[in-house]
Amino acid sequence: MLGILAMLVGIGSLICFIMVLIKQFQNAGAVHGIIGIITCGIWTLIWGWMNADKLGIKNIMMIWTALILINLVLNFAFGASMVPYTAAPTNLAP
């Protein structure tokens, strides 16, 4: 049940991310868009909130932020024990 919820939240988050990312590519340029991708959406989230009123994407931003918060809570409550600190990887390809 929680797995399905996490998956749905993840997909919703991805859809919102893509919608804002498209706006970012269109309005701020390719460099901003690529930075949005490589920061796993953090830069896109900040940029989206900075331009939410101007671009009329406040609703998308609110939904996306809510989904991220739900995701963080789910990860923290049920996934924390599955993400141990690893000092050094041991099973690496050459």
Partner 1 sequence: MWPQFASAPISSILLDRKLALIFLGFAVLLLGLFGMGIPGWPCPILQSLGIPCPGCGLTRATFLLIRGHVHASLTYHAFAPIFLLGLAVVGAAGLLPDIARPFLEKLVTPERRTGILFILLTVLILYWLARLLFLHSSFVQLIRS
Give the footprint of partner 1 on this chain (CB under 8 A): 7, 10-11, 13-14, 17, 28-32, 34-35, 37-43, 46, 50, 68, 71-72, 75-76, 79-80, 83-89, 91-93
What is the C-alpha separation between 42 and 70, in angstroms, rounded? 16
Min. distance of Cβ 29 from partner 1 in angstroms? 4
Q: Toward partner 1, which CB reaches closer, 42 or 56?
A: 42
Min. distance of Cβ 56 from partner 1 in angstroms? 20
Owner of token pair 């996934």:
79
What secondary structure does DSSP assign to 34-83, as a single string? HHHHHTTTHHHHHHHHHTHHHHT-HHHHHHHHHHHHHHHHHIIIIIGGGS
Min. distance of Cβ 75 from partner 1 in angstroms? 4
